[in-house]
Amino acid sequence: MRQGAHGLYEEELHMAATAAKQTGDNQYPGRALRRVVPRSSHADWTPGPDRADPVDLITSQNDGRLQSLVPIRHWRMSESPFTFYRGAAKLMANDLATTPSTGIKAQICGDAHLSNFGAYGSPERELVFDVNDFDETLPGPWEWDVKRLAASFVIAARHNEFDQEDEASLASISAAAYRRAMAQFAEMRYLDAWYSHLTVDEINSAFANQRSKKEQKSTKKFARKARKKDSLAVAKKLVETVDGEYRIAAQAPLIIPLRDMAAEEDPERIRDDVHTSWMAYLESVPDHLDSLLRRFRFIDMALKVVGVGSVGTRSFIVLLEGKDADDPFFLQIKEAGKSVLEDYLPPSRYANHGQRVTVGQRQMQASSDSFLGFTPGDSAGRDYYWRQLKDMKASADVDSASPAAMQRFAQICGWTLARAHARSGVAPSIAGYLGSGTVFDEAIADFAVAYAHQNESDYDAFMAAINSGRIEARADQD
């Protein structure tokens, strides 16, 4: 199938419009697809008799990872059904591939659970809210992101011991927010939709009347703390002085400086690979950024354990020094492997997975990190992408959220996901398919509840595998 300039599948992108012309329904492209894929059909979830073993699927991703860190990945996933879900993107991709799809493709996140939405600093130094994880991004069915997001709200609600009504309600709210937002983007001029974004200040203003004084105070504190998270703040936590020299402090097993790297990885080879990658990165960025970055001096680097599902992949942090010791700058180099979606969808048009992540992020985010970039593979053929480390980055505290707060968050995430998909140019087709009623919302809620049950069953199987010794889990703190 021929791919367009932006990696989207042109034939499938126009499928809805063709169907509309054939039926004489030209006002809303995508509406005709309801006859082929009823909106109510998205409620269906029943595992097939040949469904893959969930533990096998999860452990299959351990090949090529740092084996000393794999038990930490398992331990993080074992903490609760919610953390298990966060690390099981491949498992859900395997399941979503069997569910109904309209055939309309957008650039999708591939791992759109609620913890992958949050705040970060834009190049203009605004605190913006958006999707913030793109390791699995690929052109694919928009429904997959919607379903993964909705199910995450049900699973989080169970984690917080909300009432059963709240579980389905949160999923329905996220789907309804997506549907309404997509209808708005379908009516917008292309550039207006492209430039649409959401700041934390706008969120606070929109929900001001729904929050108690205590919640409003907490929200302002959240924003203040996020704005203070810059390289100087990170340095205070990660840097130490030894013999008058700054270096990254060891915090094993989560942060392992190059000097402490185990025999599993060759420190000299890593240093050479990162240096080569650094020079290639400088060549790849625009000239104005190259001029800035070349003023910084390379100080130190370390392996850093990140996330839940990503644990064991190679993620490094680099400490640079600018004008003096009070001018630190941290960059992160993260390994980019094949998307979990590529086992079920056409492969990425990009041979370099760092490029796949970088292009996908810029396609979906309204405002991306100025320092986001990718470089050629290392000596072992592994691809990487570069970005700032924790620049004003903050996420919602799901564990302490009330049902009302989670409802507001579901609305925000649903709007944000619709905006991210709309940037692919598919808003009219998706909006026409969804319509103005609640059929789709209710179907997604039913699916999310059913999949939350599936997730608990898979979590139980995962825990049984740990308890039996089939797989090893080890805490990341002594």
* Residue pLDDT, tens place only, 128-176: 999 999 999 999 999 999 999 999 999 999 999 999 999 999 999 999 9
Judgement on whether residues 247 and 275 belong to the same structural domain of the protein: yes
Model pLDDT, residue 396: 83
Distance, in Å, from the CA atom of 402 to the CA atom of 395, rounded to the nearest integer, reads 15
54, containing H or E segment? helix 54-60
Domain boundary among the residues 357, 388, 419 is at 388
Contact 405, 359 (CB under 8 A): no
Tokens representing 446? 């039913």
Judgement on whether residues 189 and 296 belong to the same structural domain of the protein: no
Contact 136, 110 (CB under 8 A): yes
Model pLDDT, residue 210: 74
Judgement on whether residues 121 and 205 belong to the same structural domain of the protein: yes
The dihedral built from the CA positions of residue 213, 217, 222 and 226, taken in this order, carries a sign that is positive
Q: Is 257 helix (H, G, I), strand (E, B) or coil?
A: strand
Model pLDDT, residue 2: 29
Distance, in Å, from the CA atom of 230 to the CA atom of 233, rounded to the nearest integer, reads 5
Residue 213 domain boundaries: 11-227+397-467
Contact 362, 387 (CB under 8 A): no
Distance, in Å, from the CA atom of 110 to the CA atom of 344, rounded to the nearest integer, reads 12
Total domains present in the chain: 2
**Amino acid type, 63:** D
Contact 306, 208 (CB under 8 A): no
Q: Is 468 helix (H, G, I), strand (E, B) or coil?
A: coil
Distance, in Å, from the CA atom of 346 to the CA atom of 435, rounded to the nearest integer, reads 29
Distance, in Å, from the CA atom of 317 to the CA atom of 238, rounded to the nearest integer, reads 10
Tokens representing 299? 């100080």
Tokens representing 233? 């703040």
pLDDT tens, the chain, 478 aa long: 223 333 333 444 455 455 555 555 555 679 999 999 999 999 999 999 999 999 999 999 999 999 999 999 999 999 999 999 999 999 999 999 999 999 999 999 999 999 999 999 999 989 999 999 999 999 999 999 999 999 999 999 999 999 999 999 999 999 999 999 999 999 999 999 999 999 998 888 878 677 777 777 777 777 888 888 888 899 999 999 998 889 999 998 999 999 998 666 778 888 888 888 999 999 888 999 999 999 999 999 999 999 899 999 999 999 999 999 899 999 999 999 999 999 999 999 999 999 999 999 999 999 999 999 999 888 888 999 999 998 888 888 888 889 999 999 999 999 999 999 999 999 999 999 999 999 999 999 999 999 999 999 999 999 999 999 999 999 987 5
Contact 311, 69 (CB under 8 A): yes
Judgement on whether residues 251 and 216 belong to the same structural domain of the protein: no
Contact 55, 465 (CB under 8 A): yes
Query: Does some domain include residue 4?
Result: no
The dihedral built from the CA positions of residue 368, 369, 371 and 375, taken in this order, carries a sign that is negative
Model pLDDT, residue 223: 82
Judgement on whether residues 185 and 201 belong to the same structural domain of the protein: yes
The dihedral built from the CA positions of residue 80, 83, 89 and 90, taken in this order, carries a sign that is negative
Q: Report strand pairing: 117-121 vs 245-248.
A: unpaired
**Helical residues (DSSP H) of 303-378, grouped into ranges:** 353-364
Judgement on whether residues 133 and 175 belong to the same structural domain of the protein: yes
Domain boundary among the residues 335, 353, 388 is at 388
Residues 265-299 have pLDDT tens digits of 778 888 888 888 999 999 888 999 999 999 999 99
Domain boundary among the residues 370, 388, 406 is at 388
Q: Give 309's DSSP letter.
A: T
Tokens representing 72? 């930490």
Judgement on whether residues 292 and 436 belong to the same structural domain of the protein: no
Concatenating the DSSP letter of every residue in 150-163 gives HHHHHHHHHHTT--
Contact 405, 316 (CB under 8 A): no
Judgement on whether residues 173 and 257 belong to the same structural domain of the protein: no
Query: Does some domain include residue 5?
Result: no
Could you tell me the maximum CA-CA distance found in the chain, to the nearest angstrom? 78
